[in-house]
Amino acid sequence: MTILRSATTAPRSVTGLRSAQSKRAMITVLGWSVALVIFFPIFWMILTGFKTESAAIADPTLIFSPTLESYQAVQARSGYTRFALNSVAVAFGSTFFALLLAIPAAYSMAFLPTKRTKGTLLWMLSTKMLPPVGVLVPIYLIFRDVGLLDTRTGLIIIYTLMNLPIVVWMLYTFFKDMPKDILEAGRMDGASTFQEVFFLLLPLTLPGIASTGLLSIILSWNEAFWSLNLTSSKAAPLTAYIASFSSPEGLFWAKLSAASTMAIAPILILGWMTQKQMVRGLTFGAVK
Amino acid sequence: MATLQLHNITKRFGDTEVIKGINLEVNDREFVVFVGPSGCGKSTLMRMIAGLESATDGDILINGQRINDVGPADRGLAMVFQSYALYPHMTVEGNMGFSMRLAGVPKEERRAKVLEAAKILQLEPLLDRKPKALSGGQRQRVAIGRAIVRNPSIFLFDEPLSNLDAALRVQMRIELARLHDELDATMIYVTHDQIEAMTMADKIVVLHDGVVEQVGSPMALYHHPCNRFVAGFIGSPKMNFLPVTLTGVAPGGVGVRLPGGGERSIPVDGTHLEESATLELGVRPEHLVLDEQGPLSGEIKVLERLGGQTSLYVQMNDELITIMADGDVAYRVNDTVHFGFAPERAHLFGADGLALPSLQQHPLAGLTRHDNRGPGAPSEEPA
């Protein structure tokens, strides 16, 4: 045992070990600082939600007597549930359709690539670089003419299209990582393309598909631009709900914060529960 | 009953032609090994037979039926992959029964067939395990089992042993040979390892740069390589090559002058040789004998004692010659050794790399692995 330990630590000098330790400590401090900076606005928002309107606009303080007044007011004014259900419907609906379209697309790109596959992938991603407002007018007019304004279907369509490039891209990297031999073995065993995908590809890339789906749900849930412009009341999701609190009567910070907290709570909890999966999914391919 | 014929098979990837018109005949119940260096096209050829790759040109026939346009599953073949390609999320039983599950075979029947194959491969205690809980050798056996349950007319093996360690490889080699006898199936086996080819094959197909260099029994390839490539590729350690000059052609052989000045007559057919022909002499390390009176000599540069044998690496002019000598030779590095060879063990190659045909056929050249069985052993085919 002693021999083993001295053998493993011998090449490192004591000072080298110490500098490695302090380096690690610095990285930890830095990581925590960045995380706190990112988290602070959310923390402040949650805090503000429990204040009275007057306390919310007073000098910032951490000590106050918490109240559910804003939550009651928010709940009294408009039905949170209706907005929440819309959010659930469009987030899950669009994710379902995005996966449905992206799985075959990513399959063909990963396993049957052509000369133009890389170009197609880049082109798909480049559509994300266009500011959405650039196509607002045509899309608004089309939606109006086909009667999709203020409908869940309309939002599901637009979110599906919005997330499709990133979903295809992510699935492509997951599929690419799958050994081709396994699919070929399936083909030798008599699997049709559909069976190959259903029995082999999907079960084996399920973690990747799950994290892609989660990301798509989060992106759809948090999307505000299209929901504000294409819905008014019937199909409005939670992002529109938050926005409704910055009304012409003025800004009510406590109520706005309470509404925002309620809007992001479900997705925050979902994200927190699945964070391991998410991190794995998002760093896939980058870290091997 | 399963035979395979390849007629003029070519394969192009873009502008690169990787398989250049291959013709081949595989007989029923034959164990055929495709061997060649990496990049020679042997795996591509096998994938075309399997149907995982399409042939650019030519016909693939199984039992006389053209199957170019038949899907991989409907060709009646089963393939064992180099990486085993087991389904990681299924148990051993699930892996072996997957083809039957796809075909809609009832569960009991499936289980019975899997058990039957598992018995042959001693996999019965492992049927409920997932592949990740198996050792390399066990995974390999599952992959073979998956092929067996399909009851294929031809088995295809794509370098199945290259991921195993040396000891296991020897064991699996023996098991595969046993399996071939037991199943009585036609098998095609791809490898870059000439020892696997020599030990298992009834027929070896040597591939190089997308063309077949030679087809024949292991002993025929060893004793009568048709060109310099096959001569160098088959046999370990590699054959030695020496430049020699032609001194004369007689009915009994071709006279050559060796680098050290000595002359020998090699019993090969030199009737078509021109007077100024450049020739190369090929002698295998195990056919060089240490001999004080030998016509060749050089200085020992490296000496490897393997126990039963000793490899001597001898510098002779510009060439480093390998000699397999007895394990107990008393030589040391920097000693000068004299050596020679029996002329009938030597090969002569022309400037085009082709071997001059031997005048005497080696008595074992026609042997296949099946002929190694003694007269008492059961044999389904008369020799």
The secondary structure of A175-187, three-state, reads HHCCCHHHHHHHH
In angstroms, the CA B281 to CA B350 distance is 9
- Do the first three CATH levels of B4-228 and B229-349 match, i.e. the same topology? no
CB pair distance less than 8 Å for A185 and B78: no
Interface ipTM > 0.90:
no
Cα atoms in the Cβ-side hemisphere of radius 13 Å centred on B178: 9
Quickly tell me which residue has 């296991």 as its tokens: B168
pLDDT for the residue B379 = 43
Are the Cβ atoms of A182 and B52 closer than 8 angstroms? Answer: no
Phi, psi of B21 (to 5 degrees): 70, 75
| Four-CA torsion A104, A109, A113, A114, nearest 10 degrees | 100
Q: Tell whether A194 is within 8 A of chain B (Cβ).
A: no
Looking at chain A, which residue has its C-alpha nearest residue B158? Answer: A181
Contact yes or no for A189 and B83 at CB 8 A: no
Q: Give A270-281 pLDDT, tens digit per residue.
A: 888 887 777 766
- pLDDT-derived band at A12, boundaries 50, 70, 90: low
For B73, the closest of A181, A189, A199 (CB atoms) is A189
Cβ pair B103:A181 closer than 8 A:
no
* Chain B: residue whose CA lies nearest to A115: B14
Residues B343, B296: Cα–Cα separation, whole Å:
13
Beta bridge partners of B19: B11
- How far apart are the CA of B91 and the nearest CA of chain A, in angstroms? 13
Residues 6+ apart with CB under 8 A from A40: none
Q: What's residue A6's pLDDT?
A: 44
Contacts of A190 in chain B (CB under 8 A): 73-74, 99, 102-103
* Domain A79-243, CATH among 1.20.140.10, 3.40.50.970, 3.40.50.410, 1.10.3720.10: 1.10.3720.10
- Partner B contacted by A82 (CB < 8 A): no
Q: Which of B48, B77, B81 to mutate to test the interface with A (most CBs of A within 10 A)?
A: B81
Domain B229-349 has CATH 2.40.50.140: yes
Residues of A in contact with B76 (CB under 8 A): none
Contact B83 A179 (CB under 8 A): yes
- pLDDT tens digits along A33-73: 999 999 899 888 888 888 887 777 777 777 777 888 888 88
Say what the pLDDT of residue B238 is. 93
Question: Which of A115, A180, A187, A189 to mutate: most B Cβ within 10 Å?
Answer: A189
Q: Scan residues 43-72 of A and list those with Cβ closer than 8 Å to B.
A: none
- The CATH code belonging to domain B4-228 is 3.40.50.300
Radius of gyration of chain A (CA): 25
Contact residues on chain B for A200, CB-CB shorter than 8 A:
87
Tell me the average pLDDT of chain A. 84
Cβ atoms A230, A154 nearer than 8 A: yes
| Residues in B touching A194 (Cβ below 8 Å) | none
In this structure, are residues B46 and B155 in contact, taking their beta carbons and an 8 Å threshold?
Answer: no
pLDDT of residue B267: 93
pLDDT along chain B (383 residues), means of 10: 91 92 93 92 93 93 93 91 91 94 93 92 92 90 92 92 87 88 90 90 93 93 94 92 91 89 90 84 95 92 93 92 92 93 93 89 75 52 40
DSSP sequence for B259-323: TTS-EEEE-B--TT--TT-EEEEEE-GGGEEE-TT-SEEEEEEEEEE-SSEEEEEEEETTEEEEE
Per-residue pLDDT tens over the stretch A120-146:
989 988 888 888 888 899 999 999 999
Instruction: Among B52, B82, B87, select the one facing A187 at the smallest CB separation.
Output: B52
Q: Do the beta carbons of residue B237 and residue B311 sit within 8 Å?
A: yes
Q: Is A222 on the interface with B (CB under 8 A)?
A: no
What is the tens place of the pLDDT at every residue in A243-258? Answer: 877 766 667 788 888 8
> How many residue pairs bridge chain A and chain B with CB atoms within 8 Å of each other?
55
pLDDT tens, position by position, B241-253:
999 999 989 888 9
Q: Which residues of A touch B86 (CB under 8 A)?
A: 182, 185
Please tell me which residue of chain B has the smallest CA distance to A181.
B85
Domain positions in chain B are 4-228, 229-349
Residue pair B202/B30 in contact by the 8 Å Cβ criterion? yes
For residue A2, which amino acid is it?
T
The pTM (predicted TM-score) of the whole model is 0.80
